[in-house]
Amino acid sequence: MKGLDQTSSLSHVIAAWPPELRLLLSLAGPGRASVVKTQPAEVKNWDEFLHLVARHRIAPAIYSGVRSTAGIPAHVAQTIEESFQRNRLVGLQRLREMVQIHVALAEGGIPSIALKGGLAAIEIHGDLARRDAGDDVDILVQPEHFQVADRLLREFNFQPRSLDFPINNSRLRWVLRQACEKKYFLPDSGALIELHWRLMRNPRLLPIETRELFAQARIVRVGGQPVRALSFDHQLLFLCVHGADHAWFRLSWLLDIAQLLKGMDLIAIAKVENLFAAYGLNRVLHQTVSLAQDLFNSNLAPEMVKRARSDSDAAWLSHQALTEIARSIRHPQRASLTERFKRHSYALALREGFRYAMTHLRQAGLSPDDWSDLPLPAGFERLYYGLRPVLWLLRRWRSA
């Protein structure tokens, strides 16, 4: 497809990164031993370094490295220390919010699954404080339960931040098909919730039915309360596909996978590779393995790394991801037409399949903002494709 030779390592691209970003790699990772070793003396702009720490949400991962590395200015180390301690408190708050929402939905007859967040921190890193707590709590419900879950969250005073319009029966099918989540916030505490009814917006990117996720979900006890979590296989698939879908623009996501994949024996490796192959996600796995190894020297199994590096399509995806990772500031909404085209090309290359590509292109021509601005009656939703340029211009004119 892209014809990029994977035998040419990604290391030469990483070596050209600014020292502020390369120092993050040197301080983070399973062994804090990145491919490109960088010393604090090479850093020219410590404000930029701190900006990148926040941008990649990586303070929890580099905290130990900062404490044990000489040459880092005291004010920088202090900022990382404060961020680490604050993340511990926020993580506990997020975990408590997750349990409360899970229990409240269950009492309303709605089973739910907790995604990512505090459970992932504990299971992957063994410590709630070692993974960024994030901004919100992610909850998965089955599509047929969305309306009741939406009503319950509103009764708990959660206010919509997206899809903020009446979703009656006539519009429900359209919304469930074209979107995958609805966002809320709690005015009193500022708590943010993302209510999902499938894992990815494009259902063909990770083709797992929600009912299968619930059938294989695990029960984990948090503070004495039973909470559903994805099975280990589904969690690995979701974390990899979620990161790949966003071009791994946060290094913290990749550290999760590096931690999950390191130290695997040949039997475990074969199981993982067969799992991804069964869902047509070989490219995603190969990209993830290549990035984890080349960015963090993650000591992944040589056999798995060799197969990943022999995939030229995954090599092209990896190079595109490095571009996103290296961005100091990332504003997808303000991207130029050229950048938008590159991002669509990247998304289309994540997996093979005509139907996957058509679903992506169809969804790219839609915006939930249009659904709110101009509620069309059921059966006329296809008009949004043609109306989008007009509605987009109207929003720009109003905001100006």
- What residue numbers bound the domain in which 374 lies? 368-399
Residue 334's pLDDT is what? 67
Distance CA 350, CA 287 (A): 9
pLDDT band for position 15 (cuts 50, 70, 90): confident
Average pLDDT over residues 222-241: 95
**pLDDT (tens digit per residue) in 154-172:** 999 999 999 988 888 888 9
Residue 3's pLDDT is what? 47
Residue 135 in this model has a pLDDT that exceeds 70: yes
**What percent of the chain stands above pLDDT 90?**
69
CATH for 142? 3.30.460.40
Clarify whether residues 240 and 381 are in a common domain.
no
**pLDDT (tens digit per residue) in 66-101:** 999 999 999 999 999 999 999 999 999 999 999 999
Residue 271's pLDDT is what? 96
Structurally, the chain folds into a number of domains equal to 2
Average per-residue pLDDT in the chain? 90
In this structure, is residue 281 part of a structural domain? no
Residue 35's pLDDT is what? 55
Average pLDDT over residues 295-322: 92
In this structure, is residue 230 part of a structural domain? yes
Residue 255's pLDDT is what? 93
In this structure, is residue 78 part of a structural domain? no
pLDDT band for position 8 (cuts 50, 70, 90): low
CA atoms 178, 230, 292, 72: torsion sign? positive
In this structure, is residue 198 part of a structural domain? yes
Higher pLDDT, 249 or 38: 249
Cβ–Cβ under 8 Å, residues 378 and 171: yes
Clarify whether residues 238 and 378 are in a common domain.
no
* Last residue in a domain, options 220, 249, 278: 249
Q: Looking at 31-40, 162-171, 223-232, 298-307, which range is the least confident one?
A: 31-40
Residue 328's pLDDT is what? 76
**pLDDT (tens digit per residue) in 17-43:** 999 999 999 898 555 445 567 889 999
Residue 29's pLDDT is what? 59
Residue 356 in this model has a pLDDT that exceeds 90: yes
Average pLDDT over residues 148-154: 95
**What percent of the chain stands above pLDDT 70?**
94
In this structure, is residue 233 part of a structural domain? yes
In this structure, is residue 294 part of a structural domain? no
Collapse the DSSP code of 133 into the 3-class scheme (helix H, G, I; strand E, B; otherwise coil) and give the result: coil
In this structure, is residue 226 part of a structural domain? yes
Higher pLDDT, 374 or 347: 347
Distance CA 338, CA 224 (A): 51
Cβ–Cβ under 8 Å, residues 79 and 50: yes
* Last residue in a domain, options 249, 272, 302: 249
Clarify whether residues 245 and 375 are in a common domain.
no
Assign 3-class secondary structure to 173-240: HHHHHHCCEEEEECCCCCCEEEEECCCCCCCCCCCCCHHHHHHCCEEEEECCEEEEECCHHHHHHHHH
pLDDT band for position 134 (cuts 50, 70, 90): confident
* Last residue in a domain, options 249, 273, 302: 249
Residue 165's pLDDT is what? 86
Residue 6 in this model has a pLDDT that exceeds 50: no
Which one, of 393, 391, 389, lies nearest residue 375 by Cα? 391
**Angle (nearest 5°) at CA 258 between 82 and 288:** 120
Cα-based torsion angle of the residue sequence 261, 263, 269, 272 in order, rounded to the nearest 10 degrees: -30
Residue 333's pLDDT is what? 63
pLDDT band for position 227 (cuts 50, 70, 90): very high
